[in-house]
Structure 1
Amino acid sequence: MIHTFGLLAQQYCNIELPLQVLKSNAGFYIGTADDAGPCSRESVEYFTTQAKAQQALDDGAWTQKETP
């Protein structure tokens, strides 16, 4: 099942935010953010490029983290 919102953001922050590609010093990842900034890192993986992360998000080819 492909989710369009962050499960960890919903579970731990009680907010439903859309999944998107975000960047950190470690690389690109799938997570959530709001106007205040990043909220949750949802993917186990880090990706080397934004395009690879976006493709993984589009294809559902990433692993959901179970805890923050």
Structure 2
Amino acid sequence: MSKNEAIVNELKTTAQRKEAILGQLCIAWVGHLGQHIILFPGSSHKARTLENSEGGNIDLTAKELK
């Protein structure tokens, strides 16, 4: 398994533990980068945009943010 595959597998495991999809987890991570970061999650599909916006409701631990 490559290093990248190992990272993706860990992210998928964290997303499952948070009952989220990978995109939501990524949005949550970016949202935790600092107060000067503004997120504009979007998609060409309304349902996906709404789904992605739930990433803002995911809390991540310090370990998960590494």
Per the normalisation by structure 2, the TM-score is: 0.30
Greater helix content: 2
Structure label with greater radius of gyration = 2
